[in-house]
Amino acid sequence: MDDMPVEDVDAFLDDLARWTADTRTDDAARSRTRERWLRQQAAEGALFTGLALDLAERGVAVAIGTTTARTLHGHIVAVARDFLVLRHDGGTSFLALPAVATIRPEGGHRPGDTASDRTSPVDTVLADVVTALAADRPRVRVVAEGGGEALAGELRSASGEVATLRLDGDPQPTIYLQLASLRELTLLD
């Protein structure tokens, strides 16, 4: 370059600057494309449990729409293999995942921030939780598949496939609930 005329050096430096700028522009475009592709992949691979886990970890208030035509507002506090736990003003509800139709983040949470392909590390099923809860005979409100009315009473026992409830009222009838049909159980009091 020592023997190169100044005009040629200036032209070479101009060409080099243009090539560097073009390379940076191309790299930035490729980076944006890759980032968009990764976001799309994450969204396509997102699992409902991963979404619920992300919202629980962030402490985001949510409105959960159920397949039994109910909407519950609160905070997801746990996610297990086949259910999630929602803490709300009315108590604590255990919701079977097949009964959770929608989860709507509330309070200004930005959509799109919750795509996750994680599964729950809690390997417990709802039937096991109901069986454990029955030992304390808590007052509960249950909703079974098919919508129907919520039933309130004392959870007397549960094992295998059946839970026994003594309903509130006079007289206090006993009902037997097939655990596979349980969609929502809320602890009362």
Local mean pLDDT, 10-residue blocks, the chain (189 residues)? 67 74 76 62 61 90 92 94 92 94 84 62 88 96 86 94 94 94 93
The whole-number pLDDT of residue 1 equals: 57
Q: Final residue of a domain: which of 60, 75, 105?
A: 105
The pLDDT value given to residue 15: 72
Task: Report the Cα 16 to chain-centroid distance in Å.
Answer: 51
Alpha-carbon gap, residue 17 to 2, rounded angstroms: 20
**Structure-token match 């009964």, residue found:** 99
Please check whether residue 161 lies inside any domain of the structure: yes
For 158, other C-beta atoms within 10 Å of its C-beta total 23
Dihedral angle sign, alpha carbons of residues 32, 34, 37, 42: negative
Q: Decide if 84 is inside a domain.
A: yes
Query: Domain holding 86: CATH number?
Result: 2.30.30.100
Q: State both tokens at 145.
A: 């598949």
Residue 115 included in any domain: no
Strands 71-79 and 83-88: antiparallel
Task: Give kind and range of the element (H or E) at residue 41.
Answer: helix 6-44
Q: Taken in order 11, 16, 19, 20, is the CA torsion positive or negative?
A: negative
What does the pLDDT read at residue 162? 96
* Owning domain of residue 147: 126-187
